[in-house]
Chains A and B, each alone.
Chain A
Amino acid sequence: MSSAFSAAKIIQPLNFAATIRSIDRPLFDSLKSIPTTPFLGSIHKLRHPSDPNSCSQHRRSGSIVAGVSDVVQEKKHKSASPDSNLLITKQEGLELYEDLILGRSFEDMCAQMYYRGKMFGFVHLYNGQEAVSTGFIKLLRNEDCVVSTYRDHVHALSKGVPARAVMSELFGKTTGCCRGQGGSMHMFSKEHNLLGGFAFIGEGIPVAIGAAFTVKYKREVLNESCDQVTVAFFGDGTCNNGQFFECLNMASLWKLPIVFVVENNLWAIGMSHLRATSVPEIWKKGPAFGMPGVHVDGMDVLKVREVAKEAIARARRGEGPTLVECETYRFRGHSLADPDELRDPAEKGHYAARDPITALKKYLRENNLANEAELKAIEKQIDDIVEDAVEFADQSPFPTRQQLLENVFADPKGFGIGPDGRYRCEDPKFTEGTAAV
């Protein structure tokens, strides 16, 4: 296939066993001081000894090449030289920065609100992973669909759902994007084509290929011109789930216009990816199904964006799906109920140093795309937006009893016929929410 992705570039399999036991070849320079253990469960061993996509400090004379886009490779080369073309314009840069800051501030505010008792249940925050959401979703059009998981606040925001709507939803107010009926884990927006928000891992991926199937159907059966793309986000834990593999197969089989984005943050609650997966390199699973598998540094929004451009363009051209594994990390626990005691502080520190916001800020400053004042202005603006969202949510009403029975059925005749011969939905008590159904 005419793809820029060189899935065929995987020359040698990663000699995993060797890397585990070789203590004198730690993966990261910065971690040299940390003793590596032979225990399989250690996360230090996950990252490739040679990861051409990581920052230049970590570049090794790798003999093993991950399935990385030639395009990105070239661009990396170019940007290494001082007079290279930049990856983004100023306008784009500020847009990306704004989105990153929005994601971060919003999630931080969620944590505050949670501990103040404004939202309840399971809330999964996205801190640290913003580069993936911004990198992909900011390239999409409004008609393109996004399918997410329970860690979906920032995907919703990046896709364009107003912060007010998301915050209200979290507060369980009727002005929320799902009228307060969905909650943190079920963000939906028809207007912005956000198809959820799913609590069970993996159950969104088939919905995503369904949306992609509709696009193909529209083109080939209904003869409408339609080149929308669907992007499905999910985590490393999902990649051991049957639905993941079934969907990779079908998407590739029918060349569906979809991009599968793995947000590999190494942890599924307390289960390390290494302890759960026989072949931890998720990108390798793409070629097994006939699609390119790409690994990218998910802490760097520009790298993600470059890979995303390629994958999305591929899907739009009708060449089929791509599997993109983003190496990323969540700075907080799995959810606000997770004490997060299991992860090594050194690991957290390592990734904190690769904070996507700091990285982009640095890039913007170093390449004179923005000055401190402009960035501060954006931060202030976002602060205001988030504050306003909280205020709006606070003042919004809770759903009334009337709302209980609405939306169970699109056609409320589904509640059936009551003993009096009338459809239950015709009972006046139905609209009050007190009818017996």
Chain B
Amino acid sequence: MAATFQSLGASSSLSTPNSFDSKLFHVPRPKSLAERKGGSLFVRSDLFPDNGSKLKVGRAGNLAVNAVATKGHSSSTASKPGHEVLLFEALREGLDEEMQRDPCVCVIGEDVGHYGGSYKVTKGLATKYGDLRVLDTPIAENSFTGMGIGAAMTGLRPVIEGMNMGFLLLAFNQISNNCGMLHYTSGGQFTIPVVIRGPGGVGRQLGAEHSQRLESYFQSIPGIQMVACSTPYNAKGLMKAAIRSENPVILFEHVLLYNLKERIPDEEYVVSLEEAEMVRPGEHITILTYSRMRYHVMQAAKTLVNKGYDPEVIDIRSLKPFDLFTIGNSVKKTHRVLIVEECMRTGGIGASLTAAINENFHDYLDAPIVCLSSQDVPTPYAGTLEDWTVVQPAQIVTAVEQLCR
């Protein structure tokens, strides 16, 4: 049971040299520390080398379209190239670079301009690009989303921000009917290269309506792509990829992840919208996750490793469509799947993913797929109740132990 990663600062004796372990993995500190302002969290995730070959397939991009930048060792921060950013800064960098590159890229949303964005993602952009390129809208989600779509049809590339993802429920009409379907119903005449982004997920006692996960509601809309960022690196990469994509892309951010810090490359990079990210290769079980739950999973992974398990953790990143290649390869190797998500149990991303894996990789499974999701409960305000609605690391550990029996 060779451990295949080294934990930063852990006094674990499991560090066995391994042929492919030239890329190091850092186990993040417990989430509560990570999410405090100023907390430094190093999260590096490298693509499993075996999958490297697939990166070249069918790509005509001139940029290095890698799921991750393959960098050297990261033992000391001082010697590493790149610069440190918080996740919201990484998003802003991505947005800024794209706005500079293409004058048709603009931002539309509430308080994105003068206020700088309620999570500071667009801070400073209005001063730099003007009030029209970073447009402060009245509180009319349905209409300004539709306006973004109309602008996209006529040549612009708007990035539409929902101040909270939940507010985009008001824009569902436009997102479903126009954003998703218009390219098709117009017979391919009009493209809608919009990016719809915003923070969602369960925060710190924000109450039921500000703690929604809209991935499940949007996933059936044909014609859109959905991605969820989880690290500063993939946040910037996904933002840039989404802006450059000709398809409408919904980029899900998480309220609690905006202050994650990571060192990201100085040079320009874009990540693939359709690929998943290998966080930690392993042998015993495949854990599929995305967004904030990635950190709960990695925390549980620490415990699991100490107990002798070897979980493979994949951040699926692309919520629609699923990267069945990365996922499939993993299932074929470990034969056990645990899905950990923050979505609701009913009709969530996990439910779809379970179905997809069962359909495609049924023969490779040694055990039924287990899906850990949030309770089908409106997120309560009380902290204790709120903690029980989402999946906690202890539950993940228990589930793995049961699956691997």
Interface centre among B132, B150, B182, B275 (most CB of A within 10 A): B150
Q: Does A74 contact B (CB under 8 A)?
A: no
Question: Once the chains bind, are A221 and B191 in contact (CB under 8 Å)?
Answer: no
| Count of chain B residues with a beta carbon within 8 Å of a chain A beta carbon | 63
Decide if B122 is an interface residue (CB 8 Å cutoff).
no
B58 touches A426 (CB 8 A): yes
A214 within 8 A of B: yes
Could you say which residues of chain A place their CB within 8 Å of the CB of B184? 181, 407-408
Q: What is the CA–CA distance of A227 and B142 in the complex, to the nearest angstrom?
A: 26
Is there a chain A Cβ closer than 8 Å to B71's Cβ?
Answer: no
Query: Is A411 interfacial (CB-CB < 8 Å)?
Result: yes
- Whether A188 contacts B154 in the complex (CB less than 8 A), given A195-B190, A206-B145, comes out as no
When chains A and B are docked, how far (Å) is the Cα of A410 from the Cα of B103?
Answer: 21
- Do B222 and A408 touch (CB < 8 A)? yes
Within A158-188, which residues are at the interface with B (CB < 8 Å)? 176-183, 186, 188
B98-133 vs A, Cβ < 8 Å mask (1 yes, 0 no): 000001101000000000000000000000001011
| A190 pairs with B190, CB closer than 8 A | yes
Is the CB of B347 closer than 8 A to any CB of chain A? no
Verify A181–B223 contact, CB threshold 8 A.
no
Residues of A within 8 Å of B146, CB to CB, are 203, 205-207, 209-210, 243
Determine the chain A residues whose CB is within 8 A of the CB of B104 once the complex forms.
222
Is A406's beta carbon under 8 Å from chain B? yes
Report B46-59 CB contacts with A as 1/0, cut-off 8 Å: 00000000100110
- Measured between beta carbons, the chain A residues less than 8 angstroms from B399 are none
- Mark B residues whose CB is within 8 Å of A: 54, 57-58, 103-104, 106, 130, 132-133, 137-138, 140, 142-156, 173-174, 177-178, 182-193, 222-223, 225, 245-247, 273-275, 318, 320-326, 328, 360-361
Give the docked Cα–Cα distance between A243 and B172 (Å): 13
Known: A210-B146, A213-B150. A200 touches B246 (CB 8 A): no
Encode contact with B along A213-244: 1 for CB under 8 Å, 0 otherwise.
Answer: 11111101110000000000000000000110
Selected from A199, A213, A220, A407, the residue in CB contact (under 8 A) with B151 is A213
Q: Is B187 within 8 A of A407, CB to CB? A: yes
Q: Does the CB pair B273–A246 fall under 8 Å?
A: no
Contact between chains at A188 and B150 (CB < 8 Å): no
Shortest beta-carbon distance from B328 to chain A in Å: 4
With A210-B152, A221-B132: A409-B183 Cβ-Cβ less than 8 Å: yes
Residues in B with CB closer than 8 Å to A214 are: 150-151, 154-156
Contact segment of A2-10, A114-122, A130-138, A413-421: A413-421
17 additional A-B pairs beyond A206-B149, A408-B184, A413-B274, beta carbons within 8 Å, are A182-B185, A183-B185, A195-B190, A207-B147, A209-B146, A218-B155, A242-B140, A250-B147, A253-B138, A406-B188, A408-B223, A410-B191, A410-B192, A416-B322, A421-B54, A423-B274, A426-B58
Q: Is the CB of B151 within 8 A of A217?
A: yes
Q: Which residue of B lies closest to A182 (CB)?
A: B185
Verify B149–A423 contact, CB threshold 8 A: no
Q: Which of A183, A208, A222, A419 contacts B328 (CB 8 A)?
A: A419
**CB contact between A421 and one of B133, B192, B193, B325 (< 8 Å): that residue:** B325
In the complex, chain B residues whose CB is within 8 Å of the CB of A181: 184-187
A-side contacts of B153, CB under 8 Å: 195, 207, 210-211
Residues of B near A183 (CB, < 8 A) are 185
A417 to B318 Cα, complex, angstroms: 10
Asked if A188 and B246 sit within 8 Å, CB to CB, the answer is no
Asked if A419 and B361 make an inter-chain contact with CB atoms under 8 angstroms apart, the answer reads: yes
Q: A203-B177, A207-B150, A407-B188 are in contact. Are A418 and B247 (CB under 8 A)?
A: no
In the bound complex, do residue A188 and residue B325 qualify as a contact, i.e. CB atoms below 8 Å apart? no
Q: In whole angstroms, what is the CA distance A253 to B193 when docked? A: 25
Question: Which one, B246, B321, B325, B328, contacts A410 given CB within 8 A?
Answer: B246
Distance in angstroms between the alpha carbons of A406 and B187 in the assembled complex: 9
Q: List 29 A-B contacts (CB under 8 A).
A: A147-B150, A179-B187, A180-B187, A181-B185, A181-B186, A190-B189, A198-B177, A205-B143, A206-B146, A206-B149, A206-B150, A207-B150, A209-B146, A209-B147, A211-B154, A214-B156, A216-B132, A217-B132, A221-B132, A222-B104, A249-B140, A250-B147, A407-B187, A409-B183, A410-B193, A411-B246, A413-B247, A419-B360, A437-B321
Q: Which A residue sits closest to B360, measured CB to CB?
A: A419
Question: Using Cβ atoms and an 8 Å threshold, which residues of chain A touch B323?
Answer: 416-417
Q: Which of B145, B155, B193 has the most CB of A within 10 A?
A: B155
A152 to chain B, nearest CB (A): 12
Structural contact, B142 and A188, CB atoms closer than 8 A: no
